[in-house]
Structure 1
């Protein structure tokens, strides 16, 4: 091949651009290329205003894609647009032909590139690992693993008392004759299947309905009413099960304000629920029961949470002994029905429950004491007033009754019972109901301007 013949394997000469291109134009083109390939910045956040700012256009409903700088219209901004022809330097006239690389050198170059790439990647990874430091470790604390230790609780703790009491607490599912249902609580009174609860819990089932008792182990048993009384709102139910663990009825006369207590039962059907509190007050005159019957209770007041469904369950002391039977809760004025605990719960004292339960088991019915007077519910003043006149054919003072024999007369004021002042009819009634027929009480009575004390021996009346 001669010098005049073209080299077919040489690289083609670059086309030469005209030298008349302005440097200023070249600079502008270069800037446009840079702008087209740079990342698109995020759109600025719109100010949180209720209308467009003065002098600014309102933001469009659909976000617009930023087109970048340069003002060029056309295809989307992620495409790269050429900024203009490059300006290479002219080649010398006597430039020697370019040498060609053979297949062997090309393969060697590629192999070296791969090795260099691998080595660079490995070195970069090692450098990143060494500069990043060790991976973080959580090292969260864990509980001590002491399998040999028994997770017991100290005697007298809420957990220890609850563990002892819960196996003896039951829940009731009652279906009335019309198909309506209700629920309540109770507890084991004797190991041979005798249970104690409120009369209003099982009354619907006792009158042609059905009573199902659910034990702490979840087993269900048909319940039969042994006896019940609306005057004390108590009932004894029996199931055909032996070997139960009864709770001990404590001495409620030993309870004082401030004693710690637990209320156990099935509020709103949530069985085995335990709440804690204290004895808030004693001798609260409370009317319990349902709308058809009213029971007068010389109640223990507690702030342990008592809710619908707790009725009939035990109120226990720090020794795990029953000191009361949860029966009623107070509600704010205007409430038409019980909605939940407001820290004012009331329980029938255990001593009263013991006496009544024994009567119900032995005879199927109960009795309560009376003094034989009618009280004037419309009176407001000091003490409680005996009615002046007969009401519905009933004499204000029963002839030959306890009060009559003690010298109480119509219109007298009863100021105290056994030294305890009374100012409402309910206070006198519950104080008498807390005694037993045959007990003697001392009444402080005022007739006109004369005040005296009289001894009254209570008589017995049959409960409904």
Structure 2
């Protein structure tokens, strides 16, 4: 009977007679093929772990010295070691497969010593390969390739089985421990009165959104209730387009809407009062802007970009900023403004700026914009952290006048300023402009003895550096109030007092 033997290159060699490579009965052992000795996966023979009774531990049964641990039995011994029991007659135990180096196979004595460490018996004794056995028919059919494939298949099956088990365990654990999220405990929505949330909760019912339609289009702004019988304060530039023709609708925080009419407005202060036919409205209290200091926290409420009931927060960044907002069709407004970094955007105009007690300290009116960008509320500009509000002291005074007479009074000192002057302070014009004299006859400045060309250095002790700053400082006062000015004429400086009068035009 023959088998085909394949060399490593995969080519067929001549048939090998298996019978010729089998030992005859009684031979010393099964001779492995010649070539490189056991180099791949040596197979340990079956042995018993208990020594044969009566075995001599010092010498072999034939009177020969016992081999040293790890040594092979001497050639031709044909006897088992002293510590080994009789071999198992099973063909699997007595006929270990010999893995030879490919491709050649020649007869050789199996008792030839192996390279050191390649096939040594286990340390501390053990049973070496049997010296004689009848080869079973299966031994010659196991090749190195077959065993390698089987070993790889076993390893792969173990790996896949372990991975699948881990996945099943993980998924099962996830279903039992992480499948249901914990239910949050009930919480409270109440907030301290002095918190931003507490302030917003009290203020929002009093803040409204104004939807205005006019000849030049439509837009939105903000406002807040100042009297429970329907009076609402806002900016003049929010409602001015509907003054002649158009309509104004007020939307409250609950979503209800009512038409509104203009009670009075003033372009110079950029303030207006409108009214709706409803009573019992919640009023937002007015605070004192005179008590505000830089760094105070503030809250802005309004409808930026039409987003009603929006709340932002910040601080008071500066005071007494001269600002001149106003619509394109209106005369410029002069505001001695509160500056804040609370986000104010188009649509916030007319909304309240609140202190941490929930009182109005300003009316949001303008935002700074980069030169060359579009004006306020044109839809092209947004907050850059520099917003301005009309102080509440000014708003209260002007609102009272608008509700009483429909218009506001403007205090003046009775001079025309030289806007081309670039020196220290501001200078009274040296000659008439537009048919008006530099100093109004009988006015406050005339009575105080001021002359054309005089330079005003301070107003009520505050240094003045440009005309707008002086105008807004005067407009922040009231008609009939006494103020002081520091004036220079030539090289002489002096302080004068005067009483503000109302503008006649």
The answer on 1:415 being equivalent to 2:415 is no
Instruction: Report the Cα offset of residue 141 of structure 1.
Output: 7.4
In structure 2, the residue matched to 1:9 is none
Shift in alpha-carbon separation, 1:424–1:143, aligned structure 2, 3 A: farther
Q: Which residue of 2 aligns with 1:250?
A: 287
Say if 2:178 is the partner of 1:138.
yes
Asked if 1:229 is matched to 2:266, the reply is: yes
* 1:133-165 deviation per Cα after TM superposition (whole angstroms, max 9, x unaligned): 75132388757524xx64311221110001010
Q: Residue 251 and residue 139 in structure 1: after superposition, are their counterparts in 2 closer, same or farther (change >3 A)?
A: farther
1:272 and 1:163 map into 2 onto residues whose CA distance is 10
State the match for 2:446 in structure 1: 404
Residue 306 of structure 1 is aligned with which of 321, 344, 351? 344
The residue aligned with 1:354 is 396
- 1:143-193 per-position Cα deviation (integer Å, ceiling 9, x unaligned): 7524xx643112211100010101100011111135x11110000111111
- 1:437 partner SS: coil
Runs of 4+ in 1 over 6 A off after TM superposition: none
Distance between the aligned counterparts of 2:280 and 2:193, measured in 1? 25
Q: Deviations over 1:15-67 (max 9, x none)?
A: xxxx9x97559x9599xxxxxxxxxxxxxxxxxxxxxxxxxxxxxxxxxxxxx
* 1: CA distance, partners of 2:250 / 2:188: 33
The equivalent residue for 1:275 is 312
CA spacing shift, 1:131–1:194, aligned 2, 3 Å: closer
Residues 406 and 455, structure 1, Cα contact 8 Å, conserved in 2: yes
Measured on the aligned residues, the alpha-carbon RMSD in Å equals: 2.7
CA distance in 2, matches of 1:151, 1:402: 57
Contact 1:366 1:462 in 2 (8 A): no
1:284, 1:335 → 2: CA distance? 21
Match of 2:208 in 1: 170
Secondary structure at the aligned position of 1:367 is classed as coil
Which residue is 1:432 aligned to?
A: 474
User: Which residue of 2 is the match for residue 210 of structure 1?
Assistant: 247
Q: TM-score, with normalisation over the residues of structure 1? A: 0.71
Question: Cα distance 1:128–1:372, how it changes in 2: closer, same or farther (>3 A)?
Answer: closer
CA contact (8 A) 1:367 1:462 kept: no
Q: Where do 5+ consecutive residues of structure 2 fail to align?
A: 13-136, 138-160
Q: Deviations over 1:237-264 (max 9, x none)?
A: 0001111101011111000001110010
User: Structure 1 residue 449: deviation in Å?
Assistant: 1.1
| TM-score calculated relative to the size of structure 2 | 0.65
1:435-454 correspondence to structure 2 within 5 Å: 435-454=477-496
Map of 1:112 onto structure 2:
none
Task: Provide the C-alpha distance between the structure 2 equivalents of 1:376 and 1:318, rounded to a whole number of angstroms.
Answer: 42
Q: Distance in 2 between matches of 1:422 and 1:243?
A: 45
Q: How does 1:174-193 map to 2 (within 5 A)?
A: 174-177=212-215, 180-193=217-230
What is aligned with 1:219? 256
Work out the CA distance in 2 between the residues paired with 1:365 and 1:413: 32
Aligned length: 349
Residue 416 to residue 135, structure 1, CA distance change in 2 (3 Å)? same
1:456 paired with 2:498, answer yes
Rounded to whole Å, the distance in 1 between the matches of 2:165 and 2:478 is 90
Match of 2:195 in 1: 157
- Mapped pair 1:289 → 2:329: no
3-state SS of 2:324 partner: strand
Return the alpha-carbon distance in structure 1 between the equivalents of residues 458 and 256 of structure 2.
Answer: 50
Listed as ranges, the gaps of 5+ residues in structure 1 are 1-18, 31-88, 90-123
Residues 445 and 145 (structure 1), Cα distance of their counterparts in 2 relative to 1, 3 Å cut: same
Q: Name the CA shift for 1:130/1:402 in 2 (closer, same or farther; >3 Å).
A: closer
Aligned to 2:371: 333
- TM-superposed CA distance for 1:206, in Å, is 1.5
Distance across 1 between alignment mates of 2:294 and 2:429: 35
CA gap 1:143/1:207 in 2 versus in 1, 3 angstroms? farther
On the 8 A contact 1:236/1:357 being kept in 2, the answer is: yes
Secondary structure of the structure 1 residue equivalent to 2:232 = strand
